[in-house]
Amino acid sequence: MAHAQYLSGLIVKVAAERDKAAFVELFDHFAPRLKGYLMKQGADEATAEEVAQDVMVTLWRKAALFDPSKSSASTWLYRVARNRRIDRLRRRKAADLNPEEPALQPTPLPDIADEMDARLREERVRSALAQLPEEQREVVRLAFFIGQSHSEIAEASGLPLGTVKSRIRLAFGRLRQIIEADEAVDVD
């Protein structure tokens, strides 16, 4: 919940102050997620990339239209992305547009309970990551947040490949223990 409010606050900063740092943070967070969402909706990679960038330009230009009391930042941006994709389809296929096209159907809004569960899981994972030793946290960050392969991490860090793999394995074992212990506390 706090992360969603934080993202909404960044949009408000963009609207009020034309805050470039806030925009960069929003772009880094949302652009890849919007691209993935659009590809899941049937857009090819190039179109998804173009629409995602268009949505982010819209965020910069029309951030003042965002009302955090009516929706979250992600709900607002995903709705803009969906509408932009539909607009593209309409322009391209105006003559032979099929109203039954899945992309033209309203996307159901996410279940609030599912969103709350996802946010809770995200908070637990962030908290658990913070408890890892720095060397384990760093290889997890490089592998799963930056997307580097184990070999790339080994090469960049100068560590043997086996050490990188061991640190990742140990980190995941420790993360599992921390999260399971946290969940057990919530059940009690």
Asked whether the beta carbons of 186 and 121 are under 8 A apart, the reply is: no
Q: Which of 40-54, 104-118, 159-173 has the lowest mean pLDDT?
A: 104-118
Per-residue pLDDT, 134: 93
Quickly state the pLDDT bin for 120 (edges 50, 70, 90): confident
pLDDT mean over 133-152: 88
d(CA 167, CA 3): 28
pTM of the model: 0.49
Asked whether residue 41 carries a pLDDT value surpassing 80, the answer given is yes
Residue with tokens 């032979």: 96
CA dist list (Å): 168 to 7, 27, 140: 29, 28, 6
Amino acid type, 71: S
Amino acid type, 152: E
pLDDT mean over 92-114: 69
Quickly state the pLDDT bin for 112 (edges 50, 70, 90): confident
Quickly state the pLDDT bin for 97 (edges 50, 70, 90): low
Q: Which residue ranges make up each domain of the chain?
A: 2-104, 112-187
d(CA 132, CA 150): 19
Quickly state the pLDDT bin for 56 (edges 50, 70, 90): very high
pLDDT mean over 46-56: 92
Quickly state the pLDDT bin for 160 (edges 50, 70, 90): very high
Residues 6+ apart with CB under 8 A from 22: 10, 11, 13, 14
Asked whether residue 91 carries a pLDDT value surpassing 80, the answer given is no
Of the candidates 52, 60, 55, 51, which has an alpha carbon nearest to the alpha carbon of residue 24? 60
The CATH number for 112-187, chosen from 1.10.10.60, 1.10.10.10, 1.10.3130.10, 1.10.630.10, is 1.10.10.10
Q: What is the pLDDT of residues 1-26, one digit of tens each?
A: 588 888 889 999 999 999 999 999 99
Burial of 52 (0-12, 13-18, 19+ CB in 10 A): buried
Of the candidates 147, 175, 149, 173, which has an alpha carbon nearest to the alpha carbon of residue 161? 149
Topology (CATH level 3) of domain 2-104: Rna Polymerase Sigma Factor; Chain: A (1.10.1740)
Provide the angle, in degrees to the nearest 10, between the axes of the packed helices 2-17 and 45-62.
Answer: 60
